[in-house]
Amino acid sequence: MNDLKFSVCMPAHNKGKLIGETIKSVLAQTYTNYEIIVSDNDSQDNTEDVVKVFKDQRIRYFRNAVNVGFSKNLELCKERASGDILFLLSPKNVIAKDALLSMYNAFKLSVDIGAVVLPYYWYGKDVNIPVRAKALYDKEKNTVISIHDCPKAIIAAFKIVDNPSSLAYRKDYIDMPFHKDPFVEFVYPFASILKKHKVVLLKNYTMACPAWVYSGSQDHIVYKKSPMQCWVGMFNTIFYEPEFNALKERCIKDFVAVNYVGLAQVKNYGGFNCLIREIFQLTRYKKTNLFSIKFWIFSIGSLLIPAFFLKRLVVFFKRGVNTKFLKNIRLGV
């Protein structure tokens, strides 16, 4: 074992209050052949001081002289990494103690495994109390997916990779740079790998993300381009050959064009004009949305409810309801 070296890459910007716990979760791993690359994107807080408290020689800290943007910082992470496996980990998230071991076992299934997808959940005040969770595709076993499998399995993977910490790549198989478009910066290399190699969707919740922390999706600048169009552009760019037309259309209709919940976020942080644009995109790429009650509820609700009140509803939603389903969820389970 230990023949694969992981580069745990943390593209950081002003995460001094959180990055310490993230690093601790990596240092607690049962799999020990790894390095931690902290690529500090000109943070103006105490991120550097927090990182340098840790004396582990596997931690390598780099500071960018200026803020180069998220996608460029991801590229710098990749350039600075010396491992076989590139695992992106947001400096606000934590991973289960067997996360790297689970990824290692997945990559060792075959040399054709090009990426591993990590299911995750959001938590509130306590990391052990989930408030929302991504649905597991198969909780009994890890699922090996190829581009020729049923679209349902492929869509299940794309539903999870909206978070950079949900992805680990075999570095030598990355043939597509991280993209400038928001929401899909890290998806481009994953999709390109999936097109040529197999990927593994893990069966357990391997990563936890705080629901209450500010994220890039709350910056109005990222809505300059339609979030839906960012995803559609990714599918059109990667799967441009005619042989992938059916799969591409299925992914757009059954994954991209059904994100009704995202309308509230667009209204809150992108503004009214962006909301109108996004509603139009939903009907453009899936005409049957016009006959969906759920589509109209979210569309009309987002249009009529004032942003200040809608934001409070989103906060309430993020706190979640600790249902029986959520009570059974824990890191590594």
pLDDT band at 317 (very low <50, low <70, confident <90, very high): low
Do 94 and 185 belong together in one domain?
yes
Is residue 94 within 8 Å of 127, Cβ to Cβ? yes
| pTM reported for the whole predicted model | 0.93
Looking at the chain, the whole-number percentage of residues with pLDDT higher than 70 is: 95
Do 233 and 118 belong together in one domain?
no
pLDDT band at 315 (very low <50, low <70, confident <90, very high): low
* Lowest mean pLDDT across 86-90, 102-106, 121-125: 121-125
Final residue before a domain boundary, out of 213, 246, 262: 213
Residue 214 is predicted with a pLDDT of 73
Do 206 and 224 belong together in one domain?
no
Whether 314 shows a pLDDT value over 80: the answer reads no
Do 162 and 298 belong together in one domain?
no
Is residue 180 one of the residues assigned to a domain?
Answer: yes
Do 95 and 10 belong together in one domain?
yes
In 113-156, where do the E strands start and end? 113-117, 120-123, 130-133, 143-145
Is residue 184 within 8 Å of 236, Cβ to Cβ? no
Do 284 and 227 belong together in one domain?
yes
Do 243 and 129 belong together in one domain?
no
Structural domains counted in the chain: 2
Q: Most confidently modeled of 123-137, 163-177, 257-271? A: 163-177
Residue 188 is predicted with a pLDDT of 98
Is residue 53 one of the residues assigned to a domain?
Answer: yes
> CA angle at residue 256 from 91 to 225, to 5 degrees?
70
Residue 9 is predicted with a pLDDT of 97
- Secondary structure class of 273 (helix, strand, coil): helix
CATH code, 116: 3.90.550.10
Residue 321 is predicted with a pLDDT of 52
Report the alpha-carbon distance of residue 267 to residue 289 in Å, rounded.
Answer: 19
Q: What is the pLDDT of residues 276-313, one digit of tens each?
A: 999 999 999 999 999 999 999 999 999 998 877 776 66
Residue 277 is predicted with a pLDDT of 96
Do 27 and 114 belong together in one domain?
yes
Whether 319 shows a pLDDT value over 60: the answer reads no
Do 66 and 153 belong together in one domain?
yes
Whether 240 shows a pLDDT value over 90: the answer reads yes
Is residue 333 one of the residues assigned to a domain?
Answer: no
Final residue before a domain boundary, out of 213, 243, 258: 213
Measured from the Cβ of residue 45, the count of other Cβ atoms closer than 10 Å reads: 14
Do 104 and 207 belong together in one domain?
yes
Torsion of CA 254, 257, 259, 260, to 10 degrees: -120
Is residue 1 one of the residues assigned to a domain?
Answer: no
Is residue 332 one of the residues assigned to a domain?
Answer: no
Measured from the Cβ of residue 319, the count of other Cβ atoms closer than 10 Å reads: 15
Do 208 and 220 belong together in one domain?
no
Is residue 63 one of the residues assigned to a domain?
Answer: yes
Whether 227 shows a pLDDT value over 90: the answer reads yes
Is residue 284 one of the residues assigned to a domain?
Answer: yes
Report the alpha-carbon distance of residue 218 to residue 39 in Å, rounded.
Answer: 22
Buried b (16+ CB within 10 A) or exposed e, 87-105: bbbbbbbbbbebbbbbbbb
Whether 218 shows a pLDDT value over 80: the answer reads no
Is residue 207 within 8 Å of 166, Cβ to Cβ? yes
Do 299 and 206 belong together in one domain?
no
Whether 83 shows a pLDDT value over 90: the answer reads yes
Report the alpha-carbon distance of residue 161 to residue 156 in Å, rounded.
Answer: 9
More confident residue, 315 or 76: 76
Q: Which residue has the tokens 């716990």?
A: 21
Is residue 198 within 8 Å of 112, Cβ to Cβ? yes
Is residue 166 within 8 Å of 295, Cβ to Cβ? no
How far is CA 120 from its chain centroid?
A: 9
Structural domain including 152 reads 6-213
Report the alpha-carbon distance of residue 20 to residue 133 in Å, rounded.
Answer: 24
Whether 197 shows a pLDDT value over 60: the answer reads yes
Stated as kind and residue range, the H or E segment containing 92 is none
Final residue before a domain boundary, out of 182, 198, 213: 213
Average pLDDT of the chain is 92
Is residue 324 one of the residues assigned to a domain?
Answer: no
Residue 322 is predicted with a pLDDT of 52
